[in-house]
Structure 1
Amino acid sequence: MSNKVILVVLDGLNYQVAHDCMGYLNGLIEQQRASLSPIQSELPSLSRPLYECLLTGVRPIDSGIVSNHIVRRSKHDSIFSLAKNQGLRTAAAAYHWVSELYNRAPYQAVRDRFTQDETLNIQHGCFYQWDHYPDEAVFLDAEQLRLSHQPNFLLIHPMNIDDAGHKFGLDSSQYRNSARHADVLLSHFIDLWLADGYQVLVTSDHGMNNDRSHGGTLPEEREVPLFMIGSAFAHHGAHIKQTDICGLCCELLGLDHQKPYPKESLRYD
């Protein structure tokens, strides 16, 4: 199997809100062009530990990235490092913690915000350090990277849903409308990505609670969506762990890897 892959991580998106509010993505499911699986995030349900989990398949307790305040590079093989070392092209439009995990730490905005370096794990990057940086800008940054560099693997990571949750809480119109807005943005790009040969995964790191935070074991903090869009997916209900998403991307990319992944989620015909 050898595909190009786009992984969209909508930071802070709760499963139920994704199911109820994202009409475009759920419309793809109704037309059997996509599938949705609930995912339970690993613990702690915090951002930096779960970026590492999504991109390496390693649980926070095992990776050592157990809080948002641990600023160092990852010690594990990631989708980025495996792809780069096997001759594929990588790119990311993402929060600066991703740059710190897989390129250089600590992040220096002047040096790292715009990254073009074939020797780094993320060879082409547009990173940002503001939680309120508009989701529209993140998707435009990503589209510029895609069109300019045709990456085999592209990470797109906007923060506005999480930012709205921290400001207004899970049960707020602002949080739900931020999810709806991300859904509209995705509707502008997904057909373009599919036409260019990409398989698309849309997920989240963690959910949100009514205390305007996350990090614990409440279902609303841990339950997140995984939308799978593209011809390589089997599109039937499969039990998928958050630690499987790295391996799923690696398998789609045709990489030599040792990461776990759910074989039943993919088509091999």
Structure 2
Amino acid sequence: MKRLSRTFLGSALLLLAGLAHADEVLVAVAANFSAPMREIAAAFERDTGHKAVLSFGATGAFYTQIRNAAPFEVLLAADDRTPAKLATEGLALERTRFSYATGRLVLWSTQAGLVDAGGAVLRNGRIDRLAIADPKLAPYGQAAVDVLAKLGLLDAWQPRLVQGKSITQAHQFVASGGAPLGFVALSQVQKDGVISQGSSWIVPADLHAPLRQDAILLLPGKDKAAASALLAYLRGDAARRIAARYGYGF
């Protein structure tokens, strides 16, 4: 009984010691990665004791906020250019930058049968609105513009584009019926390989620049154990398994 008590006491002390070193990390997360990151943050806290405090938004908006001294400690961008730019400007540590996921763009509608398997619906002149994220703020919005330009349809669609501040707002426009279809992130409409509602066309990757998404340690997080631990966790199998369920590659 004494041995059991000592073992239990030792385990309890180790647990308390781990909790004593647990910390929070403030994370700016690209809106397209919202769903998987919520799951990853929960797993991260369970496995490490550290808590990731998440803010979701457009990468371009986060860039402006970080330049204006927002206290984020880690950035999970929707592109690879923004983290590299922040590192060049001395606001992030280049040596910590890596690709945590590669996203996919999808043309999506809540209406069954509206979007065909080849995206020919984009040539339908009777559709009055097409939702995209603001290309100045959101890489997925720029990818949508690139697709339309490559298909020779940008001029035709320009007056009918409905722009959201982020890919989340673009998705909301379609989900609420504010636009009959829109370009959104695959992760917003797919889980475990199934798109559960409406109709869709997963855009061929060669129609736009790769949606390589980089993470980086920002200066406020350089001495934070939780920040470094999160970046390490994002490289691991547990995080990548979760992201893959939402259609991300690596």
TM-score, normalization: structure 1? 0.23
Greater relative CO (CA pairs within 8 A, separation 6+): 1
Which has the greater radius of gyration? 2
TM-score, normalization: structure 2? 0.24
More strand by share: 2
